[in-house]
Amino acid sequence: MKYLPLVWSALWRKPAECLLTFFAITAAFTLLTVMIGVNLTVRQIVERAPMDRLWVTSRFHNLAPPFNFPLALGAQLARIDGVVAVAASHGFSGYHVDPHDTVGVEFVDDGMRTVWSEGPITPVLWNQLSAMPLGIIVSAKAAAKWHLAKDDSFTIITEPGSRLDGGNSWEFHVLGIVPEDWNRSGPEGFILGNLQYFENAAPLDVRNWGYGYEVAITDGSRAMQISSEIDQKFANSGMSTMTIPKRVNEQTYVNRGVSTAALTFAIAGAGLAMILLLIGNATARSVRERVPEFAILQTIGFHHVHLVYLVFLEAVIPCILGAAVSTAFAGALEQWSRHFLPQVLVTFLTAPMPRLLVLVWTFGLALLLAAASSVIPLLKLRHQSVPDALAAR
């Protein structure tokens, strides 16, 4: 604490210079923080996607109907060696109030509780969903968008004739609100419904068809082999499958031809280099201009280690402040980016970010940068002769 007045007077001896340095560092730190955030987010997305879960989709879905699979495929998948559980799901969409604002529900069967056991839904909620055909489980984002709370009713309107009874109104009952899960949540969260409701209410000609499958397997290391076995079993049939482990699927999603982790790492590295240049230059200049002042401090009893504290504090304060402000900017970007940035970037900026880890990295790097930028000025100071400095030679 006793050094703070000295550090403050050093920093503020040229206010304009101090502010410009701070703004420059903050801009570079903003880039660094955003890139660290995106980097950690994409890594987290991939790591959290389980290798022992597989997506089974239609290999030729873009060519011709049937676009998905019959309900009976589930039993065949379950008999494949290494498969632990199979879950069927069926997409469904309509609107709630505004016909232009669509809402989707994913109807799932009871197998989903095993296949998606890592998800945010408790066993009690799963039991409730199984027991109540009208029940839906709503994620936090979806609940916020549709203003839903537990035990609310929710009506979705679909195309005429989408129900066996001739109606097009689907009533639901909200069983609970759950946190988001990146592997399932879309931009507006998710809503899960009971597949039995759909099968009981849909017209006869659409029942038993249109299902996608998720599969849990015993061992993630066999994921590629089991995927291949599933595809071979159904190859050249009317239900040709394309099976892919969830983790591989997420890897493909987060990378756009080049590894997003590598790209953001490289840009973050550039940001880091820029901060080092800026703070290094500012620290070196400050020390150079204050050599006589340091000599006086040494004359009145300050040891070199005290000068190390002073110079390091002078470098670390703008770095820490820049890191703090940039973290706030990055947070604001997460909130507002969708209004002014292209969708391709917004996807990663608005994904659930490991905030604590981003903070640790940003502030850790701020300390390291401050230390690195102090090294050369301190070495010069160490070799400076005190009498020469006092005589301004």
The residue ranges that bind other proteins (CB under 8 A) are 16-17, 20-21, 23-28, 30-31, 34-35, 59-60, 62-65, 231, 235-236, 240, 242, 244, 248-249, 251-253, 255-258, 263, 266-267, 270-271, 273-275, 277-278, 280-282, 284-285, 341-342, 344-345
Q: In whole angstroms, how close is the CB of 242 to other proteins at the nearest point? A: 5
Q: In whole angstroms, how close is the CB of 60 to other proteins at the nearest point? A: 5
Q: Which is nearer to other proteins, 155 or 252 (CB)?
A: 252
Q: In whole angstroms, how close is the CB of 42 to other proteins at the nearest point? A: 13
Residue for token digits 């409730």?
Answer: 128
Residue for token digits 């200049």?
Answer: 285
Q: What are phi and psi of 237, to 5 degrees?
A: -95, 180
Give the CA distances from residue 308 to residues 54, 216, 218, in Å, rounded to whole numbers and listed in that order: 56, 58, 57
Q: Which is nearer to other proteins, 3 or 253 (CB)?
A: 253
Q: In whole angstroms, how close is the CB of 252 to other proteins at the nearest point? A: 3
Per DSSP bridges, beta strands 83-95 and 212-217 are: antiparallel
> Beta-carbon neighbour count of residue 16 at 10 Å?
7
Q: Which is nearer to other proteins, 194 or 326 (CB)?
A: 326
Which one, of 51, 114, 126, lies nearest residue 85 by Cα?
114
Which one, of 376, 391, 387, 372, lies nearest residue 288 by Cα?
376
> Beta-carbon neighbour count of residue 342 at 10 Å?
9
Q: Which is nearer to other proteins, 189 or 271 (CB)?
A: 271
Q: In whole angstroms, how close is the CB of 160 to other proteins at the nearest point? A: 23
Q: Which is nearer to other proteins, 189 or 280 (CB)?
A: 280
Q: In whole angstroms, how close is the CB of 257 to other proteins at the nearest point? A: 3
Concatenate the DSSP letters of all residues of 74-130 into one string.
HHHHHTSTTEEEEEEEEEEEEESS-TTSEEEEEEE-TTHHHHTTTSS--HHHHHHHH
Q: Which is nearer to other proteins, 155 or 228 (CB)?
A: 228
Which one, of 39, 184, 193, 56, lies nearest residue 118 by Cα?
184
Q: In whole angstroms, how close is the CB of 341 to other proteins at the nearest point? A: 7
Query: How many residues in total does the chain contain?
Result: 393
> Beta-carbon neighbour count of residue 147 at 10 Å?
9
Q: In whole angstroms, how close is the CB of 66 to other proteins at the nearest point? A: 10
Q: In whole angstroms, how close is the CB of 245 to other proteins at the nearest point? A: 9
Q: How far is 67 from 61, CA to CA, in rounded Å?
A: 5
Which one, of 337, 35, 50, lies nearest residue 216 by Cα?
50
> Beta-carbon neighbour count of residue 8 at 10 Å?
13
Concatenate the DSSP letters of all residues of 323-385 into one string.
HHHHHHHHHHHHHHHHHHS-HHHHHHHTSPP-HHHHHHHHHHHHHHHHHHHHHHHHHHHHTS-
Q: In whole angstroms, how close is the CB of 256 to other proteins at the nearest point? A: 5
Q: Which is nearer to other proteins, 4 or 20 (CB)?
A: 20
Q: How far is 310 from 290, CA to CA, in rounded Å?
A: 12
